[in-house]
Structure 1
């Protein structure tokens, strides 16, 4: 049964890569049965977006087929290929991409990138300081991507990255970066659409997983996701208010975002559980309450070493549960399906759903 298979969802070595689709070209009227992605154009955007210039909409991910037992596996031979497989699923037509570091020490730079990427009808792809990996390059060339937004400083994506992208046919590049992770987060939010609701998470290394669980809902709802510093929360609060935010969902408990950091935020309300898996479930419930479908769910790895898969999956815009080899993870999964029933589950990276 589908449900018992989900009960056995676990972290395993990355499965064989999902077969990639053929290249797509942008169209004014994407095909039925797929999401339609229309870029939100901003005068502040530092790259030239062909879709904004031409008024183009793009074909996005396939819509659920109505089968309550639908499972989609998106994985590749490594994290770079997994991100490319996610991009092929969610962004089979794209003129623009967002490039972030796929190296663990720099993942934090891109935690606020998912809402901006989705607003641009763009996938999040992974690079390194000194290279554009083969899977990333293949996606860019297959889709003739014309513009790439780099997220993070030169230590994350080196100074030669723009030259490497131009060699792949990219004609417009720009970098979004700040002096630290919090300033980078605010710079990304400043480019995203205005919204009355926002999401906030800790920027501390031990709690980054909370931001990953919030990224899909924030992206689908076109709402900002911002990192807040316990010791200096006022810039985050000001950045949210500058984008029109009047209420805030705070991902995680006081051990992540301290009460003194929560206080200045616009009308903050926590979504938190006893551990990262329960917190992700609380965020998913919050996203359903705010309009996301409960029967189109993402499973992402919730353990260190595999969190990057959730980073690349954020722009898909799905309610997200984290999976790990602990009872609390399985209990959350079972409780979700007891409450909401089953539908499409998309498992990314090191998460593989058993038979």
Structure 2
């Protein structure tokens, strides 16, 4: 497709202030209007959902003025996820709980579309604890139903009991024999869709799935992980949901060329590196209807990817920020092309002027 004409560039002062940091928690100024979130209750949710057929208030809508900046962060990854939850899901009755430990992030990569379909945030825990920020969100919102994604090695068998002490009465776990089976099990709870997303499940390429999570969530489409040595189950899972076309996030070093054939009419969204791939995925999302001027900036460095994970249910096009110039070039090119309406920086990404 032809490149859209440039409309408005991000101010140089704002772009030059973009950095990876550990900012203090911040909140956006009040904005008129909010998203409306309606739980998808067909197929039946994995937990009892008291809000089937109910409209929930979601995130504030952009005010319409250019160059808005919203920073969502906390003292640690768990508090950052809770801050994102407060922003995007202030009225949630249901939550999705995933591991916030780096070695288990892969189990949660496909959870963003499910969370948004339930009008639910994505909260983080450790294998053996429900951190204070997560517990506070669950208590403050009187959440009674929680979907746990991942096996006992990610979130232990005692997790439901820990949640019950917080007032949660309905806990259901979605897990498969491995990361790929878990992603397919999560996708099975999503409504039918004609388009789906696929990405590598290899540790070195998890960032590609993170870039696709926000668009998949907003569009109500499944995101499954593809095993290069056994891609047929991923294709079968997508077809079972009615998928006829698939966007594969990432290049051939992530999902091998020979692994594409079992997927429904696949095509790639990929760049020269993880930052270019995130931008390519974001372009696909904009072409599918997501607003180009309302984007998330999330950390793209290993060790900070969890912040991008928590922001997936917001359902926004996502650009990744690193420490090298290539990531800043991608961000600058995006705003040169599409302009800057609202920029939401999450976790270790800070924008300060």
Q: TM-score, normalised by structure 1?
A: 0.94
Aligned to 2:311, which of 307, 313, 317? 313
1:43 Cα offset (Å): 4.6
Counterpart-to-counterpart distance in 2, 1:350 and 1:278: 19
1:304 Cα offset (Å): 0.5
1:6 Cα offset (Å): 3.8
Counterpart-to-counterpart distance in 1, 2:200 and 2:118: 25
Do the aligned residues in 1 keep the contact of 2:106 with 2:201 (CA within 8 Å)? yes
User: Which SS does the other structure have where 2:66 is aligned?
Assistant: coil
Structure 1 stretches lacking a partner, 5+ long = 22-30
**1:14 and 2:22 matched:** yes
Counterpart-to-counterpart distance in 2, 1:150 and 1:118: 15
Counterpart-to-counterpart distance in 2, 1:145 and 1:200: 31
1:44 Cα offset (Å): 4.0
Aligned to 1:196, which of 194, 197, 218? 194
**1:319-349: per-residue Cα shift (whole Å, max 9, x none)?**
0000011111111111111111111000000
Structure 2 stretches lacking a partner, 5+ long = 1-8
Aligned to 1:279, which of 264, 277, 280? 277
1:12 Cα offset (Å): 3.3
Counterpart-to-counterpart distance in 2, 1:337 and 1:308: 24
1:8 Cα offset (Å): 2.4
1:221 Cα offset (Å): 0.4
**1:143-196: per-residue Cα shift (whole Å, max 9, x none)?**
000100000011111111101111101111100001100000000000111100
Counterpart-to-counterpart distance in 1, 2:260 and 2:318: 23
The list of structure 1 runs, each at least 4 consecutive aligned residues, that deviate by more than 4 angstroms after superposition, is: none
Alignment of 1:79-98 (within 5 A): 79-98=77-96
When the two chains are superposed, the root-mean-square deviation of aligned CA atoms in Å is: 1.5
1:354 Cα offset (Å): 3.0
1:261 Cα offset (Å): 0.6
Counterpart-to-counterpart distance in 1, 2:241 and 2:79: 34
Pick which of 36-45 and 303-312 moved more. 36-45
User: Which SS does the other structure have where 1:194 is aligned?
Assistant: coil
Counterpart-to-counterpart distance in 1, 2:254 and 2:263: 15
Which residue of structure 2 aligns with residue 170 of structure 1?
168
Do the aligned residues in 2 keep the contact of 1:233 with 1:261 (CA within 8 Å)? yes
1:9 Cα offset (Å): 4.8
Counterpart-to-counterpart distance in 1, 2:113 and 2:42: 14
Distance 1:300-1:9 versus aligned 2 partners, 3 A rule: farther
Aligned pairs, number: 344
Pick which of 42-51 and 57-66 moved more. 42-51
Alignment of 1:194-233 (within 5 A): 194-233=192-231
1:20 Cα offset (Å): 9.9
Counterpart-to-counterpart distance in 2, 1:11 and 1:201: 27
Counterpart-to-counterpart distance in 2, 1:325 and 1:8: 13
Which residue of structure 1 aligns with residue 133 of structure 2?
135
Alignment of 1:332-343 (within 5 A): 332-343=330-341
Aligned to 1:5, which of 13, 16, 31? 13
Alignment of 1:218-257 (within 5 A): 218-257=216-255
Counterpart-to-counterpart distance in 2, 1:268 and 1:223: 15
**1:301-325: per-residue Cα shift (whole Å, max 9, x none)?**
0001100000000000000000011
Counterpart-to-counterpart distance in 1, 2:17 and 2:299: 10
Do the aligned residues in 2 keep the contact of 1:150 with 1:175 (CA within 8 Å)? yes
Distance 1:7-1:43 versus aligned 2 partners, 3 A rule: closer
Which residue of structure 1 aligns with residue 74 of structure 2?
76
Do the aligned residues in 1 keep the contact of 2:72 with 2:80 (CA within 8 Å)? yes
